[in-house]
Structure 1
Amino acid sequence: MRADRLVSLVLLLRQRGRLSADTLARELEVSTRTVLRDIEALSAAGVPVYAERGRHGGFELLPGFRTELTGLNHDEALALLTAGLGRGEQVFGLGSALASAMRKVVDALPDSHRATASDAVQRFLVDPETDLLSRRLAIDEVPATTMIEVRRAVLAGHKLRIHYAAADRTPKWRTVDPIGLVTVRDKGYLLATMSGADRTYRLSRILAAQELDEPAQRPDRVDLDQIWQERSTQFRTGGDDQVTVLVRVDPVRREELVGTALAVLAEETDEDGWLRLEVTFQDSRHAEWAMWQLSTDAEALSPQSLRTSLRDRAAAIATRYDDAS
């Protein structure tokens, strides 16, 4: 365990430069005292790690220091192979590259690890194409040529020109500053800015793309997880088309309702035990779809326009299945 930790410590310093003892302790999930002991052990073994004093100090390797620390233990190889079972690489157009990389990882393993890792990974299945009800999971399709241009612009830090088809709008060209790519439940998104304003684009709606030579206006380092959380909050709380609905729902279906809503604004329990919630949806179509899924286990109390659309839809279904007709 300590040998693996020492290797990880050296790799962290090689890849990220100067790091404080507290930062190293968090990354390695050990105490600061353990980090200091490990630093002493590395120095004694001839690894040129030194301490920089001061407010912005920390530990650092001598510039240009390199050593071969590429061996994978069994669990590390298994983690890589398991990661390859997901479909994020399909969303970003990296499927063939990942398959090639996985073959190289397996080939590079020692004989004793290769057999056990290959057998173990057969025991894991990540995100199959269908769920238990045999419903196929929808995966965003993005043309390979388009995805290549988007990916190149993101990695190179260049501006990107995209032909984008927003929902219910005529496609048009726009030039953006790409920040990063995110995949959520087999849907891919491009995080970018345009004229300084935050923008989020669904990859499947990018009809064509062109990487430009001009550098993108963006920070050198970003926290994509934080940016995604912020934009998710903006999406849930903003938008002119959002609709607020007052709903009565059977408690057994509460989580299903909450899972489809953007936000829950208020909640209380009625005398009969049903729950009364005030929730928001993306638009009226989203609200009607969500309420329809709950059937008679929920009732939309307002707005009246939603009650009317649900009534008309139910009446049309009843007429369709009326034996007399």
Structure 2
Amino acid sequence: MRASRLVTLLLLLQNRGRMTARQLADELEVSVRTVYRDVEALGAAGIPLYGTAGHAGGYRLVDGYRTRLTGLTADEAQAAFLAALPGAAAELGLGEALATARLKLLAALPAEPREHAERIRERFLLDAPGWYDDTHRVPHLAAVAAAVWARRAVVLRYRRWRAPEEIERRVEPYGLVLKAGRWYLVAGGPSGTRTYRIDRILDVRPLEEGFAVPDGFDLTGYWTGHLAGFRARLHTGEAWVRLTPEGARRLGVTPTGDGWTEARVPIESVDHAHREFLRLGTDVEVLAPAELRARIAETARALATRYEGQPPGGRSRGPGHRPPAPDTRAPG
């Protein structure tokens, strides 16, 4: 652990020039006293660095010195491919390796490209997941990733949408895909190649059995075909609707004027369209299909009946009524 930290300290000084003991301690997540000891160890090993006191002081390497310790380890090379997605690297247990790989890559660059790379890091950040996606509930990701790296079969206990909802299945993990902040496993099994959502895996049991990926299998090609099939299955029907300008904007339809716009829109199913169109409220009127129009009318009548009566408890809520404040006490 200390050897890795000494290399990181050396690369930090090479890439950034002068750094104070406090700055180094913050980067390495250690105490200032530990930095002092590490600097002494590097000096004893013959590394030409020196420190100066005062407001503009700090540690730096002798001008012109460059370390040769820029070769990437296996973990660092894997992490480098996830450099645009630090959150993904961290979920795979490669966060520290990614940070070290970046330092080594920067150290290997000449001055001008290195400065350009630093400007990109400072000014651009890719945060792929959506606002309401909880991407941290993937406790079995590390175990699945280990099986992918080692080409070892696993037994999954998995929760799916249709009955039986919970299944147990032996699969051969071919690869992992990160799509819109969510991890997916592509694996071979008794029914051929399938896709499994990592956050729906209930348990993983690694096996000692190895496997070979089928000849001609390509993860990118499989995923491209999987997405095409998903989109083809997604919208199997259409609805005829009237939209206000706001409804047209929210649905991505080009309005025909300042009033209502009629349009045909693709739908996945009556059930799904029922939920989605209710989100638009009074900004949409469904004209067809008749089943969908009837479902929405039935829901609207139920809502009207519910809100016309008094709230539970029988007390009317007048204009001056204020709802009770939420309980912010911690559970337990």
TM-score of the superposition, structure 2-length normalised? 0.55
Which structure 2 segments of 5+ residues have no match? 1-67, 73-79, 312-332
2:177 counterpart SS class: strand
Shift of 1:301: 3.1
Distance 1:243 1:108 in 2: 48
Shift of 1:153: 2.1
Query: How big is the alpha-carbon RMSD for the aligned residues of Structure 1 and Structure 2?
Result: 4.1
1:122 counterpart SS class: helix
Distance 1:104 1:69 in 2: 11
Shift of 1:171: 0.8
The residue type equivalent to 2:83 in the other structure is A
| Alpha carbons of structure 1 residues 129 and 229: separation in structure 2 relative to 1, 3 Å | closer
Q: State the identity as a percent.
A: 28
Q: Which residue of 2 aligns with 1:88?
A: 88
| Alpha carbons of structure 1 residues 188 and 297: separation in structure 2 relative to 1, 3 Å | same
**CA offsets 1:190-211 (integer angstroms, 9 cap, x no match):** 1123225231111111111122
Q: Which residue of 1 aligns with 2:231?
A: 236
Shift of 1:82: 9.1
| Alpha carbons of structure 1 residues 230 and 257: separation in structure 2 relative to 1, 3 Å | farther
**CA offsets 1:203-257 (integer angstroms, 9 cap, x no match):** 1111111222323353256432221121122223348xx8634232537756854
Q: Alignment partner for residue 219 of structure 1, among 214, 217, 225?
A: 214
Q: Which residue of 2 aligns with 1:99?
A: 96
Distance 1:194 1:152 in 2: 18
Distance 2:287 2:277 in 1: 11
**CA offsets 1:139-183 (integer angstroms, 9 cap, x no match):** 26111xx22221122222232210010025431101122221111
Q: Is the 8 A contact 2:82 2:89 kept in 1?
A: no
Q: Which of the two has higher C-alpha Rg?
A: 2
Distance 2:248 2:145 in 1: 40
Distance 1:258 1:151 in 2: 38
Answer yes or no: is 1:141 the counterpart of 2:137. Answer: yes
1:239-254 equivalent positions in 2, closer than 5 A: 244-250=237-243
Q: Is the 8 A contact 1:84 1:98 kept in 2?
A: no
The residue type equivalent to 2:125 in the other structure is L
1:87 counterpart SS class: helix
Q: Which residue of 2 aligns with 1:51?
A: none
The residue type equivalent to 2:266 in the other structure is V
The residue type equivalent to 1:310 in the other structure is I
Q: Which residue of 1 aligns with 2:123?
A: 123
| Alpha carbons of structure 1 residues 318 and 218: separation in structure 2 relative to 1, 3 Å | same
The residue type equivalent to 2:267 in the other structure is T
Q: Is the 8 A contact 2:241 2:265 kept in 1?
A: no
**CA offsets 1:108-133 (integer angstroms, 9 cap, x no match):** 63495767644541222322777xxx
Answer yes or no: is 1:183 the counterpart of 2:178. Answer: yes
Which structure 1 segments of 5+ residues have no match? 1-67, 73-79, 260-268
| Alpha carbons of structure 1 residues 188 and 104: separation in structure 2 relative to 1, 3 Å | closer
Q: Alignment partner for residue 279 of structure 1, among 259, 266, 276?
A: 266
Distance 1:302 1:217 in 2: 51
Q: Is the 8 A contact 2:184 2:195 kept in 1?
A: yes
Name whichever of 119-128 and 154-163 sits farther off.
119-128
The residue type equivalent to 2:263 in the other structure is R
